[in-house]
Structure 1
Amino acid sequence: MHEASIAQNILDIAIDTAKQNDAKIIKKVFVKIGKLAAVDINSLLFAFDALKEGTIAENSTLEVEEVLIKGECEECGFINNYDGYFFSCKNCNSLNVKIIEGEELNITEIEVE
């Protein structure tokens, strides 16, 4: 389960950032995760909750915003959201689609006291 290592990295970054800013308690950590990042969000939340025990993030919550897959056709420029993993332009049917959103895994905000 690579979600545990992702949760540990998120926790490490949040704790380091909080300490650098003289914060004593982490209340919330906000992340954006693209559907193509191949992260099981429930497993990530479970791992985060287990790993935060005994840290300044012990009572924090991990808030996850899932980012949809968005692609741009390199033939006609049409931009569209995709539900599945087959990317063809819905305007001109080209298979030359560049993914522009949906691969990210970013911490966007850390709420502290």
Structure 2
Amino acid sequence: MMDKKTSRLQRAAKTRHTIREHGVNRLSVHRTPRHIYAQVFSADGTTVVASASTLQVDIKSGLTATGNVAAAKAVGDAVAKRAIAAGVTSVAFDRAGFKYHGRVKALADAAREAGLKF
């Protein structure tokens, strides 16, 4: 019997394997009850091209809370702008096994609105 976390990590591994086969940049999301993190990895997966999280002062300062949909939108917008500034316009979305719902969906939508294609 697998627990919730093991199942999620197994789903994440499957997705990452597929993305690696396609050889594209990857927007990876990690979610905890208190914070949300996003990183854009290069196509080979070795370097972080851009990152944003609710821990960063410039993002945190404009928020009332860090574990809600508004915070996720702010992180999505910031990571997209930083990725585009670094020359990345197209990514594959890696939700790390989390449901595409709530904060994960809000981050993805905000990144798309800011000009990131996926």
Fold conserved (TM > 0.5)? Answer: no
Which has more radius of gyration?
A: 1
TM-score (norm 2): 0.29
Q: Which structure carries more strand by proportion?
A: 1
